[in-house]
Amino acid sequence: MSATTLKNHIHLVSLSEAADALGISVKTIRRRIADGTIAGYRVGRLIRVDSHEVRDRLAIRIPTIR
């Protein structure tokens, strides 16, 4: 995969942005990075995750209340 293709498919966000979008804690995101469920990318001193990967791999199913 070329750098151009890779650049078009990865959307890096902070751990707090990813956690807020899914309604989970930052600690959960960090645990999933540690256990290899999702990839963490170091940008300088910061850790970022691919928003698409997080959404796909950590999809949380919330039951519908009737």
Q: What is the pLDDT of residues 7-25, one digit of tens each?
A: 567 889 999 999 998 888 9
The single residue listed with the structure tokens 């990318």 is 41
- Count how many domains the chain has: 1
* Cβ pair 43, 12 in contact under 8 A: yes
pLDDT at 43 over 90: yes
Phi, psi of 7 (to 5 degrees): -65, -35
For residues 66 and 57, what is the distance between their CA atoms, to the nearest angstrom?
27
Domain that holds residue 23: 8-57
2 falls within a domain = no
Q: What is the mean pLDDT of the chain?
A: 82
Give the number of C-alpha atoms closer than 13 A to the C-alpha of residue 24, restricted to the C-beta side.
Answer: 18
pLDDT of the residue at 66 = 56
62 falls within a domain = no
Q: Burial of 49 by CB count in 10 Å (0-12 exposed, 13-18 middle, 19+ buried)?
A: buried
pLDDT at 60 over 80: no
